[in-house]
Structure 1
Amino acid sequence: MSRSKRQVSVSRVIAAPPEKIFDVLADPSKHPIIDGSGTVKHARASAPRRLELGSTFGMDMRMGVPYVIKNTVVEYEPNRLIAWRHFGRHRWRFELEPVEGGTRVTETFDWSTALAPWLIELVGYPKRHPTNMLATLERLDAYVTTGEVPAS
C-alpha cells in the first residue's frame, strides 16, 4: 500500500496483458463483478458499453441504503490508465503497467480533487478503502485470469 497527500494506492500483478484487464475496467457492466467493497450493484441501462475520456455512466449502489451515482471518466489512456469521478470530485484511478509475468495494476483513491476532502477524511474513507481496493484487485485478477465471476 502506498500513501501520499490525499491519495492511497494498492497494487497487484495480474498474469494477463494490459489490454485484457483494461477491457474489464472500461466496461461499466463489469464493475459489480470486480468491486471489492460490495457497494457497486449494477450499471445503469444508459451506461456506454465501453468507457472513454468524457464518458458518463450511472451505477446502482448500496451502502446501507440503495442510491444511484453518476460518474465521469476524467483520465484515460487506452490499456494504461482510466479514472472516473462523481459529484464529490474524488477519483478512482486504475493504472496498468506491463511487467514480467503480466501487468501491475495500481488502484488509487484520490481525494486531492474532492470538493470536501476534510469530510472524506472525517468519515475515514482513506483508512477503510485500501482493504476494499485489495479485494477489488483480487476479484479483477480472478475474473480476468479465469473468466469466472468470483463469489461474493
Structure 2
Amino acid sequence: MTDRFEVPRVIEADKAKIFALLCSPEGHVTIDSSGMLQSAEGESVGAVGDEFLVHMDRESLNDRPMGKYDVRVIITGFEQDQWIEWSIAGMVRPPLDHRYGYRLESVDGGTRVTSYYDWSRVRDEARGVFPVIPETAIRATLGILARTVETA
C-alpha cells in the first residue's frame, strides 16, 4: 500500500495566477473538494513557516465524530511559482505531520499542476486513519482549481 497520492493535471492558466490562489487561505477553501474546509483566516503565505487558520467540518466526510474544529496550516515547503507544501496542526498532539502540496511546471497550453498528499511521516500508531481523503478528492480539487483559474 502506498503512503502518498500524486495527481497531475494540465491547467490552461499561468503559473503565477495558479500559485497566487494556492498561497491564499481563501483559495484553499475555494478549491476544496472534500467539503471539510469551511472558511479561513490569515494573510497569503510567502515562505516556509508562514501559517493561516482554517475552520473545518469533519461531518462532511461522515467518518469520525469530530464535528467542527480549527487547524493551523503551516507551510513546510515553498518556491515562488513552483512549489508549495504544508502540514496541519489541529486537535491531535503532537501533530501527525501529513503533508499536502502542489508542484507547478510551465508546459505548452498552460501549467502542469501536480497535487500530492503524503502521510509517510505519520507515526505508526496513527497510520490506521490514513488516507483521510481518497485520491479521487485530490483529482476533484484539481478540477475545481482548473475551473476557478481558467474562467477567472
TM-score normalised according to structure 2 size = 0.84
Q: Distance in 1 between matches of 2:105 and 2:124?
A: 28
Correspondence for 2:43: 48
> What amino acid does structure 1 have at the position aligned with 2:48?
L
CA gap of 1:106–1:118, structure 2 versus 1, over 3 A, is farther
Q: From 122, 125, 130, give the equivalent of 2:131.
A: 125
The one-character-per-residue Cα deviations of 1:62-117 (angstroms, maximum 9, x if unpaired) are: 11111101121000000010000022211001000111111110111011122x25
Amino acid at match of 1:83: E
SS of structure 1 residue aligned to 2:134: helix
Q: Is this contact kept in 2: 1:92–1:109, CA < 8 A? A: yes
Note if contact 1:28-1:51 (Cα within 8 Å) is conserved in structure 2. no
Structure 1 letter corresponding to 2:39: H
Deviation at 1:33, TM superposition (A): 0.7
- Aligned-pair identity in percent equals 32
In the alignment, is the contact (CA less than 8 A) between 1:43 and 1:58 conserved in 2? yes
Q: Give the drift of 1:129.
A: 2.2
Off by >6 Å, runs of 4+ in structure 1: none
The answer to whether the aligner puts 1:60 opposite 2:67 as a matched pair is: no
* Number of aligned residue pairs: 139
Give the aligned partner of residue 26 of structure 1.
23
Shift of 1:51: 3.8
Q: Which ranges in structure 1 are unaligned for 5 or more consecutive residues?
A: 148-152
C-alpha RMSD of matched pairs (Å): 1.7
What is residue 151 of structure 2 aligned with on the other side?
146
| CA positional deviation for 1:48 | 1.5
What is the alpha-carbon distance in structure 2 between the residues aligned to residue 109 and residue 74 of structure 1?
13
One-letter code aligned to 1:133: I
Following superposition, the deviation at residue 56 of structure 1 comes to 1.1
Residue 108 of structure 2: which of 87, 100, 109 is its match?
A: 100
Which structure 2 residue ranges, 5 or more long, are not aligned?
60-66, 89-94
